[in-house]
Structures are given as structure tokens and as C-alpha cells.
Structure 1
Amino acid sequence: MIGVLRGLIAAAAASAATLLPGCASDSSMSAYRSLVLKSLSPPPEGVVRVRFMGTSTILLEDQQTRILTDGFFTRPSLPKVATEMLEPDIGRIRDALQRAEADRIAAIFVAHSHYDHALDSADVAKETGATVYGSQSTLNIAAGRPFKVPLELIEGGGEVPVNGFHVKVFRAEHSSPQRYSGSITAPLKLPAWASDFQEGASFSFLVTYGNLRILIHPSANFIAGMFRGVEADVVFLGTAYLATQEDDRPGFAKAYWCELVERTGAKLVIPIHWDDFFVPLDQPLRPLPRNTGSFDETMALIHKEAAASGVAIRLMPLFDPVDFPLQDPSLTPDTPVRPRKAGDACPWAKG
């Protein structure tokens, strides 16, 4: 593990100057500035206000209820991950919640149990009164904390109502390469090594609010046919390792896009899990180290598919709220997008 992380440290240093526009001011990323979404007005009744807080941490709220995915705010540095045991940083958690104006949260849905998703979930729940929804591995992380928070097991296929929100849970596949793919079988006492945070089960979440359907898919992989018959307006699309998987398996990106976007008929795609989560949130976001796949290469791959599908791609700002459905005529696709028929298979997919 130490050798792998030393390699990541070197890669991170090489890409340290590459920052996201809207969250940073580096001129090398100017091509992406126009993609960063902005809220145009105070949210009227019936909209969902969404905030992106790095990796796959996404806060959704209406006028009464907030729900959150993951809630990863500690973001320890690469040297720390390589050489020290990890535990939540309560100062960073509280700062992030204050910036997000999220003193109360009803539910936290955890995508899987690696530390960059599940490290902070129980502590965020303690701060906000939330219930943690996750795999048994995620619940065992929470059970190892010296306090109790409400816990609910999810296994895929179920639907969780949270006031006006309805969250459908899908079993998902972690992106490749799959490290620490086992399970956490007993309460995990923190601090713990990064390798102790085994994946458990991975999930994706379809959040429905009235007629609005938002699909949050944190890991850049798929199970063939997993979204057959599912429709979405917006896909928050995990992109970590997408370019490297395309290098290893040519055609992977097209199949991934087909399963997530063409099958669901989504008209807007927002990349997530692209940022370097070893950098704290009081600094600008920047892309992951290059050995996880170049940000430029990843954006080129999805732009190619988006152009062929008539789908808009945008980026979320850091912490700033964006209201959905978006009132932005530039997001209307030139080509009508229809969900792929249930019997149609995606490229080289057998589902």
C-alpha cells in the first residue's frame, strides 16, 4: 500500500497547478469556465437546491428537508494517508457544514465504504441529526465510533422516502482498478489505516422529487442493464479512472455512457469524483492525479459522447448552490434524447 501511495504523491505533485475554473483561477483550465453552473435566482417552491462539495458529496434540499450523499469533508493529504491512520477531522466537518448552511440533515446515503466516501458519515450524522444509510460495512464504520447515530441498512433495489424526496438504491460496480474490495465485518475502531476501509457494497442513487429525477452514480463503472427502464433528467456521473479504463478496454467509455446516459434519457450530465480529494476544501478544487486518468482526456471522452447524443455537460461549483430544474435555455439539447429501449443492449454489454 505504501508504494502505491508514494506513486500517487508524485503524480499529485506533477498536477498540482491544474485547477478547476469557478473554484480556482488557473488559466490552463479556462476552456472549462463556461461549463460551471450558477444559480440565477433564489429558489422558488418546488425546486431542489443542490451543492457539490467535492468527490461524490452532494447536498440536496427543498424548503424543509436536506439529504446528503457520503459527506466526506476531512480529506487527509496523500502523505498522511500513506503513513498515518485516519480519523474524522471535526473542525473540517463543521467548517464544511457551515459553508453549506446545513445544520440539520435528514439522511446520509453512502455510496460505499472506502474512506473517501464513508470516513466522516457517522460524525456528520452526529452533527446534523441525520440517519446514515449504507451497506453493512458502512454501518460497521459508524458502529465503531464512541457515540450512536441512527443507522439503516441498504442492499440495493429498495426505495427510501425522506419527506418530499424518494431515493431508489441500485447495486453498482466500483471503478477499476478495484482496491480494498472486501467487507468490514465488525465495528471499525478509528483511527484506522486506509486499507481497513474495505469497499463493502457499492451503490448508486436515483433521487426523485416531484417530476425531477436526479441519478447520482459515484463510481465510473456499471453492471450491464442496471438502469434498464430507469429514466433520469440529470446524471451526476462518476469519472475517476474513466480515461484509464478506456485505455485498458477501448470502447469502455462508450458503453459506460450508453448505460448511464442513453438508457436513462438524461439531458444533462455533471461529472463528479474528478477532483483531488487529498486537497482540503478550503483550497480550490483541482483534478485527481494523472495516473487516475487525465482530466482533459476524461472530458474529451464524455464530450464526444455528449455531442453524439445531444446531451449538455456542465460542472458544479464548490459549495455554491444550484437550483434544479435549471432555468437555462443553453441546456436544451439540439437533438431529442430518447431512453434506449429496454431490449437494446449497450456496446459490448450483455445485460
Structure 2
Amino acid sequence: MSRFWSQVVRDLTPYVPGEQPKIANLIKLNTNENPYPPSPKALAAIQAELGDDAARLRLYPDPNADLLKQAVARRYEVTPAQVFVGNGSDEVLAHAFQALLKHDAPILFPDITYSFYPVYCGLYGVDYRCVPLADDFTLRPADYAPVHGQRHGGIIFPNPNAPTGRLLALDAIAEIAAANPDSVVIVDEAYVDFGGETAIPLTARFDNLLVIHTLSKSRSLAGLRVGYAVGHPALIEALERVKNSFNSYPLDRLAIVGAVAAIEDEAWFADCCRKVIASRDVLNEQLAGLGFEVLPSGANFVFARHPQRDAGELAKALRERNIIVRHFKLPRIDQFLRITVGTDSECAALVTALRAILG
């Protein structure tokens, strides 16, 4: 700690990302990266941007990323004015916390959820209240209804939830948005393409609903850092005002063209998601066969615990076999492991290792 630190920095508990170890022959199932490569068309678009006239890299990119906004708008049948883009969905979320969730009243999010949310609250001075999930880790829409007409500062939750993987139906999201007409409701859909249905069509009915996506998961572009939000133009304008007061050029030239090509390659995207879902279903069955309790997942990961074995010890034993998974030492979920769905061979290696560990 330095005497030069501000009070905000002193009070922060930063988000801890999943580790990216440099270990040979590692089976990496801890950060929910897609096990398959991105669309060849995305790679070709990036190469073309470099090959046609690499000298253009000396110039700033389009500050509005209009090509990307148009691609997202076409994909979801909205207008570009309803689309915001940023440097990964985490940056989009950060702007949303500052632009839309910083009010006098506390915001609401689940007690078990994406651990960046309380970090952003600390960074931007946003008051919040955690809403307990049900015993089966489902989100109950009634828990987010205003009490005695009292307005919330906003509501945010992932769908599917992270790290549980539990999925909320669209009618439940509509119920939350309808019950809170004077509060922004943000749905973080980082994993929705692996088994859920996007809430983007609901933004036509609810001017208080913002839906955030990333290309890091289902589009296999975690290394490119592209995210976007879709909502009413007034919500998008608020995000643009914050972005243009913070960083007017968040997306570089390569990210813009690569993201456009990835969004337009629907066949590659659909095939990739099908493969991950099929592998997840097999992994669920195999883990259950080893005695694990596995929560229903709509994501590219599973959340599982073994009734007779400590999760931390299992994670340690797997690591000794060059397999890493995510273990959260948090209340209610400290006996669960979050396991990214890898390739079929990676999943098979995981199951073989667990079988040996369990004896």
C-alpha cells in the first residue's frame, strides 16, 4: 500500500481472473474459453486488414465502429442506434455501471453471480444488495419486485448465471423488466448461445432492458476482446456518453473486421455451439456416473460437486495431473468445481483423471 493511493484504491477488492498458466501439455478447463478455433472468415478478415494496407494501422480506427454495429443490428433485426460496442463485455458492463446503475437506491444482483459486479460497485461507488438464489441455485423473479413501490437503483444478472450455469426463461426476464419499469434491468448473456434464448427481442417491449453479449465464448474470440449491448436508443446514448468521456477508440481495426466476419459466419457459429453442447451433455452423464451432483447448465461449463470429496482437494489433485478447473472459495459454493467444456479428448482426460482420484 502506498501513501499515494486514493481512498477508492485502498478500499477496492479487485476481481481475480482465472489463471493463465504457462505449463506444457496443460488441459485448461478453468476460464470458459471455447475449445474450438474462431471462424476462418474472421481470421481471413484480420489478415486482409493487415495485408491490404498495413500502413493503416498508423491511423485511428472508426470511433463508432459502424461496421460492427451494423453487423450486430442485422443479426438481431434492430437498428444500429440500439447497439453499443466495447472492448470486451467487461468494458461494456463497466460503462453500464457508471452510466445506468449509479443512482441513490442500491442495485440488485444474485448472491452467487459474476464476481466482477461487486468490484464495479466498489470502483464507481454504486450501492448494492445481494439477493439470495433459491436452494437449487435458481433465480426467483419475485425476489426482484419492488417492495412497497420502492424503486431499485437497477438490476443485473447473467443468463445463464455464472458460475452456476442455471438458465432463466424469457418470460421470467420479461416479468422482472415489467415489474421494474423505472429501473434499468441488465441481462449479461455471455453464455446464452450454449442453450438459452437471447432476451434481445424483449428490448422492443421494454425500454428499461439492456442485453450484453461477448464474442469471447460462442464466437471463440476471447483474445480479440469484443463485446456489445443492445437496448433502447436512450440507454445506448448513455453508454456512448460515458465511452466518449473515457476512451473514444475502444476497438481497434483488427477487432472490428474480425468481429464483423465472425458474426456473419452463422454456419460456423452454429456448428461450434452444437459441438460444445453435445460434449457438455456427455460430460454431465460421465460426472454423474462418478457420483457428482451436476447442476443443469445452459453454458459452456458445468458446475458440479461430489458428496464425499472436498472440492479444493479435487482441484489440487487434478492440477497435479496438469488439468486445471475453477474452484471458488465462497459461501454456498465452496464445494463446487466449475469445469469448462473442452474438446471430447480433453473431457475424456478429465473424467479418466477423476476416476483415478476417486479410486
Q: If the length of structure 2 is used for normalisation, what is the TM-score?
A: 0.29
Q: Which has the larger radius of gyration?
A: 2
Higher relative contact order (CA 8 A, sep 6+): 2
Q: Which has the higher helix share?
A: 2
Q: Which has the higher strand share?
A: 1
Q: If the length of structure 1 is used for normalisation, what is the TM-score?
A: 0.30
